[in-house]
Amino acid sequence: MNSQIPLGSVIQGSLTKGLEVRLHPDVSVEDMRVGKFLVVQGMRSRFFCLLTDVSLGCSSDRIIANPPPIDDDFLRDVLAGSGTYGTVALTPMLMFTPTATNSDFSTLPIDTAKDTSLGSLQAQTSTDMELLPVKTIPAHFSQVYEATEHDFRSVFGWEDDPFRRNFSIGQPLDMDVPVCIDLDRFVERSNGIFGKSGTGKSFLTRLLLSGVIRKDAAVNLMFDMHSEYGWEAMKEGKQVSTVKGLRQLFPGKVVMYTLDPESTKRRGVRDAQELYLSYDQIEIADLKLVSSELGLSEAAMDNANILYNEYGKSWIMRLVNMTNEDIKMFCEAKQGHQGSISSLQRKLMRLDSLKYIRSACPHNYIDQLIQDLAAGKNVIIEFGSQSNMLSYMLATNMITRRIHSSYVKKADHFLQTKNPLDKPRQLVITIEEAHRFLDSSIVHQTIFGTIAREMRKYFVTLLVVDQRPSGIDNEVMSQVGTRVTCLLNDEKDIDAIFTGVSGGANLKSVLAKLDSKQQALILGHAVPMPVVVRTRSYDAQFYREIGCTDWEDQPNEEVYAAAEIAKADLGF
């Protein structure tokens, strides 16, 4: 499609409901797809718009009542464009307005008016184009054009911009031009990656984290529940193949810790560091988070507070070693409930099955982890076989609470000294199954709810990965700065994505029409306007594009796949 030929004319609309555009007779309605970018040329401004709906219209009800016969091509051609026509609904997202004296597009030379690209307007008029939020709409019969590569680059920038940390996340649905996100804006607020199972959330997460690591926009702490980010992970498809993990792509910038050393070694990871936690590091708030997994009642938690007040950090070990007589004597002296304490004792014994829990740890692994983050290392904590929800939620909350506490002290010290050398590194904490931590009933008891509400006050933000955004507290969702959303089918989940988003109702149709693979709607703080992209592939070409060569020393995916097929043929 020629971007210099107008596609249609604005016939009506409003600032709140968007624009209705009637397509010209020579433009096929089938070329108009939800999520497409179009530019409306006004008298003083140019409007960058997102196509949100496509419909058919006719000039008379008699045409609908008596449509032309199926074999009458001549009558259909006569009616097309006059009696019958296509319309599209556009939502203006941004407007470009010249700020110099030549502020009226109608005064531009004829040759300039024909070239609708932003780059041409800038070059020929020598005026600065200011990117503004939409506060007005174009007049009747303003012409609509295909967005050009210049338009995309002017809005989303380019990856090699020397003044901004841009990262290409993908391309528009119908153009071969990169769509970039601003990584500095991305990491300064909490963000979310959403989508139903199988839509590629894990690949998107690897993609974004690769950009953050490559551009040094922040350090990452990744709680790798299913062991698929640090080292090789299986790639979906009929053939058996793998993709590289972040540790393989950035060996000098990524450190791996494991809560299950045996499982990690079986996967071929040779240099992962062990990480253990002890009973005296578990606090009441940690148990409240996993109370449903452990089956703890409110009475049990009340008695846990009594035990903590009496024995301090060693209360769990003291409780586990108590006999029935000891529990009875304790309840008589401290007014505890014997049945609740006995039940609490039995249920806390389940923690013995967690491989990373020790009675005592002579080495403080969390302090070591904090030192790695302070040195600019990105940390991935692999769970291996310890990936059940009890294990994941307990370890994640324990570690994050201590890291956040450390960052609060560092931020307070920086605020006092104003010394740039004391400024903490921006930290992004990535968690999966985020609704488990950010549900309305428990969000005020978890450190993750605190971090999400604080935004970047203490230089710590979240990257939440989840398939049920409706399970996340509305207050927390409203604080999520950038939302990268793959296909969602549930109405509640779709509504949750647009919590706190102005004009979100117009974008619901866009989200509902995404493909199930390699498409995403990106909106929020890190992009100038909502955009639908074909997400960048995470493959050997991507490894080369980001300048990582160490992966070439690893087994090739195709070789690995061929070996697996050969084994199957031989009956292994």
Structure token digits, residue 116: 């609708």
Q: Which residue carries 């939302």 as its tokens?
A: 483
- pLDDT tens per residue, range 261-272: 888 888 888 888
84-98/129-133 β-pairing: antiparallel
Q: Kindly state the percentage of the chain with pLDDT values over 90.
A: 28
Please answer whether residues 513 and 532 qualify as being in contact, where contact means their C-beta atoms are separated by less than 8 angstroms. no
Q: Is residue 267 a part of any domain in this protein?
A: no
How far apart CA 99 and CA 94 sit, in angstroms, is 15
Domain edge (last residue) among 333, 353, 373: 353
Same domain, 348 and 422: no
Phi, psi (rounded to 5 degrees) for 485:
-125, 120
Q: Is residue 36 a part of any domain in this protein?
A: yes
- pLDDT tens per residue, range 52-77: 999 998 888 887 777 887 777 777 77
Mean pLDDT for the chain?
Answer: 83
Q: Is residue 254 a part of any domain in this protein?
A: no
Find the CATH number of the domain harbouring 230.
Answer: 3.40.50.300
Distances (CA, A) of 512 to 31, 34, 373: 19, 10, 39
Same domain, 455 and 511: yes
Strand partners, 521: 485, 532
Across 215-241, average pLDDT: 82
How far apart CA 103 and CA 113 sit, in angstroms, is 13
Same domain, 479 and 334: no
Q: Is residue 568 a part of any domain in this protein?
A: no
Does residue 47 surpass a pLDDT of 70? yes
Domain around 305: 280-353
* The pLDDT of residue 449: 86
Same domain, 24 and 87: yes
Across 377-382, average pLDDT: 94
How far apart CA 88 and CA 77 sit, in angstroms, is 20
Structure token digits, residue 212: 């953050």
Same domain, 441 and 532: yes
Please answer whether residues 458 and 408 qualify as being in contact, where contact means their C-beta atoms are separated by less than 8 angstroms. yes
Does residue 521 surpass a pLDDT of 80? yes
Q: Is residue 569 a part of any domain in this protein?
A: no
Same domain, 71 and 20: yes
Q: Is residue 358 a part of any domain in this protein?
A: no
Structural domains in the chain (count): 3
Does residue 572 surpass a pLDDT of 50? no
Please answer whether residues 47 and 137 qualify as being in contact, where contact means their C-beta atoms are separated by less than 8 angstroms. yes
Q: Which residues contact 251 (CB under 8 A, 6 or more apart)?
A: 550
* The pLDDT of residue 12: 94
Same domain, 406 and 545: yes
Q: Is residue 363 a part of any domain in this protein?
A: no
Domain edge (last residue) among 122, 156, 190: 156
The alpha carbons of the chain give a radius of gyration, in whole angstroms, of 29
Same domain, 397 and 540: yes
Q: Which residue carries 């718009």 as its tokens?
A: 49
Structure token digits, residue 45: 């401004």
Same domain, 453 and 509: yes
Q: Which residue carries 């560092």 as its tokens?
A: 410
How far apart CA 180 and CA 154 sit, in angstroms, is 11
Domain edge (last residue) among 121, 156, 191: 156
Phi, psi (rounded to 5 degrees) for 380:
-120, 125
Does residue 378 surpass a pLDDT of 90? yes
**Which parts of 391-540 are beta strand (E)?**
427-432, 460-466, 482-485, 519-524, 531-535
> Which helix (H) or strand (E) is 163 found in, with range?
none
Q: Which residue carries 């219209």 as its tokens?
A: 57
Q: Is residue 71 a part of any domain in this protein?
A: yes
Same domain, 481 and 542: yes
Same domain, 234 and 293: no
- pLDDT tens per residue, range 291-314: 888 888 888 888 889 999 888 888
Please answer whether residues 529 and 50 qualify as being in contact, where contact means their C-beta atoms are separated by less than 8 angstroms. yes
Phi, psi (rounded to 5 degrees) for 474:
-60, -40
Strand partners, 88: 21, 54
How far apart CA 146 and CA 558 sit, in angstroms, is 40
- pLDDT tens per residue, range 496-509: 898 877 777 778 88
Across 465-494, average pLDDT: 90
Same domain, 140 and 201: no
Query: What DSSP character marks residue 80?
Result: B
Among the residue ranges 118-127, 151-160, 177-186, 211-220, the one predicted with the least confidence is 118-127
Place 9 in a pLDDT band, splitting at 50, 70 and 90: very high
